[in-house]
């Protein structure tokens, strides 16, 4: 799809349909093993070992792969995943029936205020239609002291200037948006070999 001149609704519809088409093969795709698994393990390792969340949310959870890894670390926690692609959620429910999964977007989370201890979002931020609204929603559902670990694609060496969708994922842009929404920035790391920038925000 050529996004030039496309409306926000058209872009959203295209993205959701794209991931619905991929949902049947997404779980066993090569990029899961070569890319997602690598950075999801690294992301989990960023969480302090003594930290024990009671409720963990993954925004843009796909088939729930990250949540299944998190359950190994925190077996008694409650796990929640949201994704706008119904096909992804159908598979997530099948693979992790003891978790809660919702067809929903970052901008409208179906959760109560201050109900979550820890939020992850991995490689989904650039698909959000209203990124600031999505971050405000995450802040709303986080408890005071809760943390958001957001990892997303950031093409290095200035390549992002040629990919408009990723321009908002630069480290400085992410820090500015986190601060504007009201997160206290705890950490930010560039994983250049994985083309990712990870930003950690704390609700205060």
One pLDDT digit (tens) per residue for the chain, 204 residues: 444 455 666 767 767 887 788 788 888 888 888 889 999 999 999 999 889 999 999 999 999 999 999 999 999 999 999 999 999 999 999 999 999 999 999 999 999 999 999 999 999 998 999 999 999 999 999 999 999 999 998 876 666 555 555 556 788 989 999 999 999 999 999 998 878 999 999 999
Stated pTM of the model: 0.88
How high is the pLDDT of residue 2?
A: 45
How high is the pLDDT of residue 9?
A: 66
| Calpha distance 95→72 (Å, rounded) | 14
Spans of all domains in the chain: 8-203
How high is the pLDDT of residue 141?
A: 98
CATH of the structural domain 8-203, one choice from 3.40.50.150, 3.40.50.2300, 3.30.930.10, 3.40.50.300:
3.40.50.150
How high is the pLDDT of residue 3?
A: 45
Instruction: Collect contacts of 74-81 with beta carbons under 8 A, ≥24 apart.
Output: 77/52, 77/53, 78/54, 79/55, 80/55, 80/56, 80/111, 80/116, 81/57
């Amino acid at each position: 799809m050529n996004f030039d001149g496309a409306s926000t609704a058209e872009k959203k519809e295209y993205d959701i349909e794209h991931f619905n088409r991929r949902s049947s093969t997404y779980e066993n795709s090569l990029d899961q093993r070569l890319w997602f698994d690598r950075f999801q393990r690294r992301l989990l390792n960023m969480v302090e070992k003594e930290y024990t969340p009671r409720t963990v949310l993954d925004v843009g959870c796909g088939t729930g792969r990250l949540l299944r890894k998190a359950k190994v670390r925190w077996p008694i926690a409650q796990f929640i995943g949201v994704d706008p692609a119904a096909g992804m959620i159908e598979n997530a429910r099948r693979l992790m029936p003891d978790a809660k999964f919702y067809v929903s977007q970052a901008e409208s989370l179906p959760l109560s205020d201050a109900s979550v201890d820890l939020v992850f979002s991995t490689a989904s931020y650039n698909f959000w239609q209203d990124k600031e609204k999505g971050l405000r929603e995450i802040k709303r559902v986080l408890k005071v002291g809760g943390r958001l670990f957001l990892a997303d694609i950031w093409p290095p060496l200035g390549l992002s200037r040629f990919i408009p969708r990723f321009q908002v994922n630069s480290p400085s842009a992410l820090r500015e948006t986190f601060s504007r929404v009201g997160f206290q920035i705890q950490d930010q790391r560039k994983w250049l070999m994985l083309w990712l920038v990870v930003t950690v925000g704390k609700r205060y």
